[in-house]
Amino acid sequence: MATLNITCKEENLGGSCRVTIGTLDGAIDSTTTKVFEDYMQEFLNNGVKFLILQFGGVKYVNSTGMGLLIKIADRFRDAGGDLCLVGVSNKVVGLFDMLGLLPVLPLFNSMDEAKEHLKSIVQPEEEESEIMEVAPAFEEMDFEEPIEVMEEEDVYPVEFDCPVCTSGLEIPKEGKFKCPKCGCYFLADPEGDVQALRLEEAKMIELRLPSDTTFIDGLRTMTRSFGREFGYSDSIIEVMDQGIDEAFAMVVRLAQNPQELCNIFMVGNSQELITGVFSGNKRFDSDSLEIKLSMKIIQNAMDEVEIIELPSGGQLLKMKKVIRPPLQVTPK
């Protein structure tokens, strides 16, 4: 049975910015989420607005725990504060990325970075005034036709109907927002483009297999079982098999010996299946002809393939198969 221990301390970052720093040790899964949520709610009940969680000692987070992190971050933001995570392991960073949570939860490599982020919220730095060049007087300018001065158009606010619950929404500026009715998240960029994040409850499986082709049948069985659980068609499952088989075969070729463990994660729901393969010291972007051919096969089988450099070294090969198209936001 997993355990989770939390120790905390308070620190003044200057002015009115007081932060609570919690150090976690253990796992956040179905057996510890209640303990974790109770700790977080106690912080809020005691008036804590800014919380930094040191995740270096967290060995595992399941999809339930990740969903809980989103809810807790919402509670802190609703209270006018924020939640930051520091020292998240490569494995957990990869899972956050696979679940699409990186835009929603701020992750920092160091405690200093997290503190600076929180200080910028409480005591925003004054923007430096821009130095504008003085235009020459009209009599010094030589032109034959009138010049039309175009004013820069404001892209915000953006109005649209929520693609999940159809509620009318308005986003006033760039940033992260949530539909108050259904909880769908939206990311708004400086150009006025709004992206919907479908954070549907997902199932997650972790496999640790020796780098040996004799285990490929077990991997295929797991992939097919996973796909059928969410109602994927046989043709989709067959294509998924091809991509995941090739990724595992690539790991086998890169391994120094068959006993090296390969970490494979599958995160899926009715919308998509995302598979992540952690390389350790292996390089999926090798110039080897065999590796390049494998990557080509994987790219043909999957809808999205990405090699992600992890903060403390190693790579994550992230493969996505889309079952249903992403949510579309159409401004009015």
Q: What is the pTM of this model?
A: 0.63
Model pLDDT, residue 314: 77
More confident residue, 145 or 181: 181
d(CA 236, CA 233): 5
Asked whether the beta carbons of 262 and 236 are under 8 A apart, the reply is no
* 265 C-beta neighbours (distance < 10 Å), count: 20
Q: If pLDDT is split at 50, 70 and 90, which confidence band does 149 have?
A: very low
Looking at 30-114, which runs of residues are DSSP E strands? 50-61, 82-86, 107-108
Model pLDDT, residue 126: 36
Question: Where do the domains of the chain lie?
Answer: 4-122, 154-197, 203-322
pLDDT digit string, tens, across residues 187-219: 888 888 888 876 666 778 888 899 898 898 888
The helix (run of H) or strand (run of E) holding residue 247 is: helix 234-254
DSSP 139: G
Q: Is the pLDDT of residue 133 over 80?
A: no
Q: If pLDDT is split at 50, 70 and 90, which confidence band does 113 have?
A: very high
Distances in whole angstroms, Cα of residue 188 to Cα of each of 69, 168, 184, 194, 238: 21, 16, 13, 4, 36
pLDDT digit string, tens, across residues 262-319: 889 888 888 888 899 986 677 888 888 888 888 999 999 999 999 988 776 778 899 9
Task: Label residue 293 left, alpha or beta by phi (over 0 means left) and psi (-120 to 50 means alpha).
Answer: alpha
The CATH code for residues 203-322 is 3.30.565.10
Model pLDDT, residue 137: 39
| 142 burial level (CB within 10 Å; 0-12, 13-18, 19+) | exposed
Residue 331 preceded by cis peptide, ω within 30: no
Decide: helix, strand or coil at residue 261: strand
Q: Is the pLDDT of residue 77 over 80?
A: yes
Count of alpha carbons within 13 angstroms of residue 138, beta-carbon side: 4
CATH domain 4-122 topology: Transcription Regulator spoIIAA (3.30.750)
pLDDT digit string, tens, across residues 9-61: 999 887 777 899 999 999 888 789 899 999 999 999 999 999 999 999 998 88
Average pLDDT value for the chain: 82
Cα torsion 322, 265, 219, 228 to 10°: value is -40
